[in-house]
Amino acid sequence: MSAFKRIGLIGRPGHSGVVDSLRSLGQVLKSRGLKVIVDELSGELLKGTEFELMDRDHLAAQCDLVIVVGGDGSMLGVAQMLSHHDVPVLGVNRGRLGFLTDILPEEIDARLGDIFAGKYTVENRFLIECELRRNGEVINSASALNDVVLHPGTSARMIEFELFINDQFVYSQQSDGLIVATPTGSTAYSLSAGGPIMHPSLNALVLVPMYPHSLSSRPLVIDADSTVRVVVGKQRSIIPQVGCDGATGFAAHPGDELIVRKKPGALRLIHPLDHNFYQTCRSKLGWGNRLGRADD
């Protein structure tokens, strides 16, 4: 007997193919006699259906499984809310990459059958949180599954800052900014900036300088339980910005302190038993397969 009785569906409005996948999921779930709850935004895409509608926060609190339909960006958009409720999450990929949403639309029926039969694994992905402090007072805060980024905004000029880890001075730097990424985010913006790929099971953070004005400045991998503090230096006619998971962030002024640390709780991702992180990397990043053999 499946442990999942009340299933929440969240889709990304305007995303190609999401409506078809939501309808397919709804039919499969109802045929199994399961309770289906659709978030209100997705419900607008399914006009004429008889699913119960609910706002996302209440949906996560009421369901024992949430299925997110879209790309990795869709998962990023709801990760904080879902992790807060400690509800397991399954991703159906309607995006380009699919590091977080790994079920293909044509596999929905078969994969759900396996999962409801208990054939799945659960992977915990931790989030990070940041605070921007000015004169000792917290003026902004946010959370991220992938990364927190200090950057110059629309300006092409470098910014100045000092980096501390657990209150130990690391370096001062002039660069286009700094990326603080989780293992989940190591295959995102951090990878594009030259950072290492980290296995999702690692309890680590990577700090990646963006175009540093130094040949010796390299990505730095640290324990995820560390506290990262970035002190913003004096700038030349620009106001650095802080962004979380690519979303519009907030402005940082000279002397401000950006604090980044691991957030309590985790996003609980459900995967099929044959899920393989390295196979995902081969598929999504174009790594070579075994010589003379089909991919495993």
Beta bridge mates, 244:
148, 247
- How far apart CA 80 and CA 87 sit, in angstroms, is 11
Can you give the C-alpha Rg of the chain in angstroms? 21
- How far apart CA 165 and CA 170 sit, in angstroms, is 7
39 is catalytic: no
Is the Cβ–Cβ distance between 73 and 95 less than 8 Å? yes
User: Which among 72, 176, 245, 256 is annotated as catalytic?
Assistant: 72
Is the Cβ–Cβ distance between 213 and 174 less than 8 Å? yes
Q: Token match 């010589």: residue? A: 291
Task: Give the ranges where the chain is alpha helix by DSSP (H).
Answer: 18-31, 40-43, 56-62, 72-85, 108-116, 189-192, 277-285
Question: Residue 157 corresponds to which tokens in the numbers above?
Answer: 């000029």
- How far apart CA 201 and CA 207 sit, in angstroms, is 18
> What is the CA angle 167-169-170, rounded to 5?
125
Beta bridge mates, 230:
163, 258
The catalytic residue positions are 72
